[in-house]
Amino acid sequence: MNKFKYYFILLLAGIAIVSCSKDHDDPETVPLRDYKEQYKADNDSIVKYLNTHYIKEVTANFDITIEKIPAGGTQTSIMNQTVYPLQSRDVYNHDVTYKVYYLSLNKGSGDAPLNTDRVYTSYVGSLLNGTVFDSSYGVARSFELYMHASQSVIDGWGEIFPQFKTGIPSAPGSDGTITYTDFGAGVMFLPSGLGYYGSTQTAIPAYSPLVFSFKLFSLQRLDHDFDGIFDYQEDLNGDGYVYDFRDTARYPTPPSTMVADDTDKDGIPDYVDTDDDGDGYSTYYEITKPAGQIGFGVKDGQPFNYGVSTYYPWDPAVDNPSTPNTDETEPRGIPRRPTGDLTKPNDPTDPNESITNPRKFVDEDYTAAGRLRIHLDKSYPYQKK
C-alpha cells in the first residue's frame, strides 16, 4: 500500500514537470507580417533617416561618419547632399519591389562581384537609431553572397555589392600581407525584408531596417555547379546578377527585368545546371581540355603554353601579379564547334562532318569574339550515326 502511494505521488510530480516544460518550450507562434505592408513602414523610416541625418566626415580611407542633424542645424541631409549622390536600385524579393538606397563613396577599379561570388570586405552594421550591432573592426572578412550557401549573408548584400568593384592589390609584403588601393566603398540602407525581417538577432530587433558601411577589397569567383564554368561566366546578359526562379518564395512572379540566364530553358539557371544546353552531355565533359593541351607543349612545331587549367577559361586570361608563385596565363578560351577541315577529307565512306569524321579546331575557334561556346551548342558533340 505504501509502495503504491509512493509511485502515485511520483507519477503526479512527473506530469507536473512535463506540463511546466511544455508551457516553457512552446511559446506562442506569431505569424510573420505582410512583406508589402512592412516595406511601406521600413521605407518611411529609411527616407526619414536620409532626410534627418548628414555625412559628417569621409576620410581618405573611406571611413564614414553619419550623424543626426541637430534641431536648428543647417547641415545638408544625406538625401539632398551632392558630394556622394544617393543612388537606388530596384530589388524584387518576396513579391515586393524594394527601392534600395545606397551611397557610393568610391566605385573601385577592379572587378565587380556577381551576386553569388565570395567577397572580402570590412564593414560596420548599425540600426537607424545609431546602435552598432556588428563590425569587422577594419579587417577584411570573407562572405559568400550566394543566398543558398550553408552560411549565407542577408539578401541585401547580394543586391548591392555587385554595384561596386574591388581594389588594386599590392605585391605581397615580407609577411604575405596584401594591401588594396582604389577599392569600392559605400553605405547601403536595407529594408528589413532584405535583412533579417521577422527574425530577432543579437542587438537587432525583428523588422529592423539596417545600415551597412563597407569596403570591398577583393573577391573570389565561385562555381556552384562544379562544371568548370564560374558563375559570373554563366551570367548570360552580363548584368552582374543570376537568379534561381525555382525559389518561388523569393520570386513568385519575377518581373521581365529579371533574367533567368537559362540557356536550355529547363527552369534551371546555367550557374546551377550541370548540362547548360540540355544536349545530354555535361558541361564538365564538353569543356575538359585534351590531355596534351595542359601546361607547356608544342603547337605547329613550336613551344606553346596551353595554360594551367584542366578546363578552358571563358576568355583568354593573363597572369595575376598578386600570385607570384602561380602563372594563370591562359592564351585561349572555350572553343566553339570546330570549323577547320574534316579529319578525313577524302574518305568516300564518311564524306560528311560526323562523330567519326569531325572537323579540326583552328585558332579562331578558341578566340573569335561572340563565338557560341561548345557547352552551349546542342549540335556538339556530334550525335552518333
**pLDDT score of 18 more than 50:** no
CA distance 196 to 286: 41
Per-residue pLDDT at 23 exceeds 50: no
| CB-based contact 197:206 (threshold 8 Å) | yes
Task: Tell me the pTM.
Answer: 0.86
pLDDT value for 172? 78
Given a cut of 90, whether residue 359 has pLDDT beyond it is yes
Q: Rounded to the nearest 5°, which phi and psi values hold at 156?
A: -60, -35
Integer Cα distance of 207 and 103 in angstroms: 22
Q: Where in the chain is the domain with CATH 3.10.50.40?
A: 35-220
Burial letters 23-60, b for 16+ CB under 10 A, else e: eeeeeeeeeebebeebbeebbebbeebbeebbbeebee
360 vs 171, more confident: 360
Whole-number pLDDT of residue 6: 39
- The neighbour count for residue 295, using CB atoms within 10 Å, is 12
pLDDT above 90 (res 324): no
What CATH number was assigned to the domain covering residues 35-220?
3.10.50.40
**pLDDT (0 to 100) of residue 13:** 42
Residue pair 353/382 in contact (Cβ under 8 Å)? The answer is yes
Per-residue CA distances from 240 to 32, 237, 319, 361 (Å): 31, 8, 24, 31
Could you tell me if 145 and 116 are in contact, meaning their C-beta atoms sit under 8 angstroms apart? yes
Euclidean distance between CA atoms 375 and 279, whole angstroms: 9
Would you say residue 271 has pLDDT above 70? yes
Top pLDDT among 190 and 7 is at: 190
**Dihedral angle computed from the Cα positions of residues 164, 170, 173 and 178, in that order, rounded to the nearest 10 degrees:** 10
Q: How many helical (H) and strand (E) elements, i.e. helices and strands, does the chain have?
A: 5, 13
pLDDT at site 30: 67
Which of 208, 230, 248 has the alpha carbon at shortest distance from 95? 248
How large is the average pLDDT for residues 280-307? 92
3-state DSSP call for residue 376?
helix
* pLDDT at 20 exceeding the cut of 70: no
State mean pLDDT over 264-279: 96
DSSP string computed for 157-185: HHHHGGGS---EEPPP-TTS---EES-EE
**Cα separation of 374 and 365, whole Å?**
10
Average the pLDDT over each of 15-29, 179-193, 331-345 and give the range with the smallest value: 15-29
* Average confidence score pLDDT of the chain: 89
pLDDT (0 to 100) of residue 176: 76
Query: pLDDT tier at 179 (50, 70, 90 boundaries)?
Result: confident
DSSP string, 66-91: EEEPPTT--PPPTTT-SSS-EEEEEE
- Give the per-residue pLDDT at 384: 58
Q: Would you state the torsion angle of the CA atoms of residues 281, 282, 283, 288, taken in this order, to the nearest 10 degrees?
A: -90
Tens-place pLDDT, residues 79-89: 999 999 899 99
Contacts of 93 (CB under 8 A, 6+ apart): 155, 193, 194, 250, 251
Q: Whose grid coordinates read 544546353?
A: 277
